[in-house]
Amino acid sequence: MAKLPQSLQNIALFFERLPGIGSKTANRLAMYLLRLPEQDLKSIGEQLSQLKSRTKMCKVCMNLTEDNMCHICNDTARDRSTITIVETVLDLLSFETGNIYKGVYHILHGKIDPLNSIGPDDIFIRNLELRIQNSEFEIKEIILATNPDMEGEATAMYIRNKLREIQKEKRLTFKVTRLGYGLPIGAHLEYADYGTLSKSIENRRDF
């Protein structure tokens, strides 16, 4: 039975571990890499080897960056009175597409999911609480933009309750809103188009 050389098999097996990649696609990707100039392969290898060491989390919003603060938190033109809470960096990128939002973000890097043993302490909710309590800027609105599935709703409700405790303790008066359901139930923000996200921002509601 014909088979690829071991080095190509190893690369193909690695690609198979990536989301949405089957064995045939993995083999095609491995063959594609083999056809690249050696200098391109070396460059890709160097970038991959430095990926973990060079990538940090923004000390303010937990976005991914190579510096202490991400480019959004460093942008003085952003509206720091509005914070949108999202599950992942991919969700943030969806909002940034089309220039529909001018505020700042907080990335949870997950959602509360008891079936997979993910609780509030396993995502960056505590960092959000400290950020709000110690903010140098007046916060006027916090938008809960977790995905509209069961876990996303549970996460939004948990955060809403925590925010109410902070409002009472610190005597803060910011508004808490939830994205309007321009997004279908069960959808994920990273796959949403510009028009859908725009409507979701426009139709957000008190929560």
pLDDT in tens, the chain (207 residues): 457 789 899 999 999 999 999 999 999 999 999 999 999 999 999 999 999 999 999 999 999 999 999 999 999 999 999 999 999 999 999 999 878 899 999 999 999 999 999 999 999 999 999 999 999 899 999 999 999 889 999 999 999 999 999 999 999 999 999 988 777 777 788 888 887 788 788 777 787
Indicate which CATH number applies to the domain containing 139: 3.40.1360.10
User: Domain containing 23 — which CATH number?
Assistant: 1.10.8.420
d(CA 26, CA 170): 54
User: Does one domain contain both 72 and 166?
Assistant: yes
Looking at the fold, whether 99 and 133 belong to one and the same domain comes out as: yes
Q: Does residue 101 lie in a domain region?
A: yes
Residue 86 CA to its chain's centroid (Å)? 6
Residues 112, 65 within the same domain: yes
State which residues form the domain around 13: 6-54
pTM for this predicted structure:
0.82
Q: How far, CA to CA in Å, does 193 sit from each of 38, 146, 198? A: 38, 16, 9
Number of domains in the chain: 2
Strands 56-57 and 64-65: antiparallel
